[in-house]
Chain A
Amino acid sequence: MTLTAELVDLLGTARVLDHPLRRHVYGKDGGVTRGDVELVCLPDTTSEVVEIVRIARRHGLPVIPRGAGTGLAGGAVPLGPAVMIVLTRMDRIEDVDVESKTAWVGPGVINLELSQHTHRHGLHYAPDPSSQSTCTVGGNVATNAGGLHCLAEGTTVAHVLAVEMVTADGEVVTLGGEAPDPIGLDLRAVAVGSEGTLGVVTRVLVRLTENAPASQTLLLAFDDIENAAATVSAIISEGIVPGALEMMDRVTVEAVENYVHAGFPTEAAAVLLAEIVGTSAGVAAEANRVASIARANGAIDVEIASSPAQAALWWKGRKSAFGAVAQAAPDYYLHDTVVPRTKLVEVLRAVYAIGRKYDLLMMNVFHAGDGNLHPLMAYDSAQPGVLDRVHAAAEEIVRASIAAGGALSGEHGIGIEKRDLMGLTFGPVDLDAQARLREAFDPEQVFNPGKVLPEGSRCFDYGRPPVGAEA
């Protein structure tokens, strides 16, 4: 039987997409790279995933898992002929365990819908990437997604207790578990953030977080980005860890203000939004302390949201930043690097200089508390040669971040976008260890081949290398 016939036999015609136009849709994610998809499968169950993996292997084709396709690093873009498994139909929220604050969910569950579903129990799912109304939990597991609340809550890996995964052998394994610290090696930690290269995640045990009884949002405006950064450091060194601490630069504030009219001061060089969560008296006390820290660090405007509606509008402004860019240009490239918090100003200055050098409009809206930068370059892809400039600028931003002691990615992952930059931060022996780890799960690179690790990462032959061996 042909590949298509076998898969249609398993899933029926409606859940196997081979029309060129429909396949075209799946050839791209939220990033800028496009690939060709051989065939798209839409399984409903774990056992269907097992069968698809077996069929693909029999036909010698690799398997690419995909969620909603909101990833920005090309992690779900095929680099050659492959069978794509789209997991969005596996979107069941199984029993929510209110007492243990956990839930087993399908990988296709939409991030925000999980929090909406558990709201009645006073619980939510803490990782909240800006794409949370469309991205899936399975995709979040693949990229170890972050969001606005990582400063206090950590990224996806801190909120996933176990995954059920289909391996290259077509086995179904559970990594991690309901009880704390399951015995043996923590393979769950390796699966989270593995960008679909180790297997297909078919169920996820998530940890849920209590909703805060009270919260308060502050808007802090500065006429100098340095004062804003100093305020971020001062808040944290005073022992306050806000739920979220987000910064927007002038260009972003202007674009957002035009778009949603949130009441942001457009004359400011930088605006900080700080969210304090906790019990009501505690929140009020901490909000006052944050306000006085900001004033002591030269804030030109300090406002505490007068109502939940005002706070919601401010946060809507922050979350609309990427949509607001459309006013400036039809396309954008959203970057993701992390630097030590104390290097924010230095790296931001470098980012602006890179924007000027390549004649690109550079906007910065980012997770200041984490040192997680998201420079956004707005451009018009109809302009000849512009993508080359965007890519060159993106690489320079990575180099500037690494030079400041930072990392390639805080929450988007490596995918194809940053694969060949891995050597900037890891040596050949480091990459070889990563490649060996991948090999332990998937020796024949059935899953998402060519992603994350640059070609040649597996630099030594099997067994122990000779002492002093060079790559």
Chain B
Amino acid sequence: MNLVGQLAPYETEVAGAPNAEFTVAPPSVEDAARILDLACERGLRVLTWGGGTHQGYGYGVDPDVVLSTHRLDRLIDWSPDDLVAVVEAGVKVSTLEERLAEKGQSAILSEIPGGATVGGSIAAGISGWRRLRYGPIRDRILEATVATGDGRVIRAGGRVVKNATGYDIPRLMTGSLGSLGVIGSVALKLWPVALHAATVTVEDPTLALATAYRPIAVLETNSASAVYLSGTDEALDEQIASLDGTRADGHLWPDPLDHNTVLVMRVPSRHTAAAVTQVEDSWDFCAAHGVGEIRIGSNTASSDDANRLRQWAEAHNGALVVERLADDLRSGFDPWGTPPATAGLQRRVKDAFDPVGVCNPGKLPGGV
């Protein structure tokens, strides 16, 4: 059978995805592996597509095949007493979190996810604002089932909250931007949601970070700084009394940045306040104190501006990455900046999973 015939059962349409010769949606991870196997045979470039919310990272891929995960949409298993959920990659973050909230649990994914999927959030390594308290998303991926670039289905990790069995492939998949394969499903470590939550507006985020005991987040935006707390009523009252701020009930997260260009500065957390001073007054930003992530949105930034920010970040042992880039910044500004010294090793690791190079080829730093 020819390729068109072989891919016909998977044909689909995906709004917002780039044009490609084939746009397909496998209904299972085995089908995803079959598609990747065909791609290997024909030397096709495959771009994996979740919700399309974080496709702006890294070098562009001109795909022959767009592989959408939207048919991988099942909640496979959820054991509330074990705080573990097994979920397919194409499930929307919002759908999953709504479901988990029925029993007071959360996978601590993005607070305002838009159309993002679970698999896409993992592939892009999106940790959300609550990282200060709950750690990065990679620490919640217990098990991963993946269709690797060479068309095989592998499973790594396990459905238990603690595991020292073999190499940590689930964490390796986190932030790999689809360069190793297609994530089919994952087991996620869940957290119980505390009964009470508060947002406390403060003057000085650095001081607040030093004062509060392990807050959920300390965020600074153009307009205000706030400490996010959770816990028992007693614990909240005690913490708020020490903070000298204005209390609001619940967690009031900042609006997502909807600018043409969204850049993310990542620096050692002690440099967060200094990084904020590098942001032009006319841009919007949200800085996560204690984490070292500063998200910056602008409709007017030039490639010179972006390069200046990157220079500052790299000089402070950090990086500046692109989440979304206006067309006029595409020349004169590299999406990654200085590639890591380990690019050669990264290439060999990619080859171990994707020897032919069909999965998002060239997307990672150093063109890996």
Contacts and interface: CB of A to CB of B under 8 A. Distances in A.
B192 interface: yes
B350 interface: yes
Interface in B220-278: 231-239, 266-270
B40 interface: yes
Interface in B19-73: 37, 40
Contacts, number: 276
A97 interface: yes
B362 interface: no
Contact of A425 (B79, B83, B158, B319): B158
Interface stretch (A18-26, A301-309, A322-330, A463-471): A463-471
Given A278-B231, A338-B162, A179 B82 contact: no
A464 B40 contact: yes
A333 B165 CA distance: 19
Given A180-B266, A213-B213, A340 B79 contact: yes
Given A184-B340, A186-B174, A342 B82 contact: yes
Interface string A282-309: 1111100100000000000000000000
B192 A237 contact: yes
Nearest to A209: B214
Interface residues of A, number: 96
B191 interface: yes
A136 interface: no
Interface in A399-436: 405-414, 418, 422, 425-427, 429-430, 433-434, 436
B95 interface: no
B11 interface: no
Interface residues of B, number: 94
Contacts of A177: 317
A190 B168 contact: yes
A193 B168 contact: yes
A34 to B, nearest CB: 22
A460 to B, nearest CB: 9
Nearest to B342: A173
Interface in B141-160: 148, 150-156, 158-160
Contacts of B313: 179
A179 B166 contact: no
A138 interface: no
A150 interface: yes
- Which residue, A239, A280, A441, has most C-beta atoms of chain B within 10 A? A239
B135 A285 contact: no
A143 B164 contact: yes
B167 A286 contact: no
- Which residue, A280, A281, A422, has most C-beta atoms of chain B within 10 A? A281
A464 B237 CA distance: 60
A436 B165 contact: no
Interface string A351-381: 0000000000000000100111000000000
B105 to A, nearest CB: 9
B160 A237 contact: no
Interface of A: 97, 99-102, 143-144, 146, 150-151, 154-155, 157-158, 167, 173-175, 177-187, 189-190, 192-194, 210, 212-213, 233, 236-241, 278-286, 289, 336, 338-342, 367, 370-372, 405-414, 418, 422, 425-427, 429-430, 433-434, 436-441, 452-453, 462-465, 467
9 contacts: A100-B270, A180-B291, A181-B125, A210-B213, A282-B231, A340-B159, A422-B165, A440-B351, A452-B166
* 5 A-B pairs with the lowest CB-CB distances in the bound complex, closest first: A282-B235, A189-B171, A239-B192, A99-B270, A436-B352
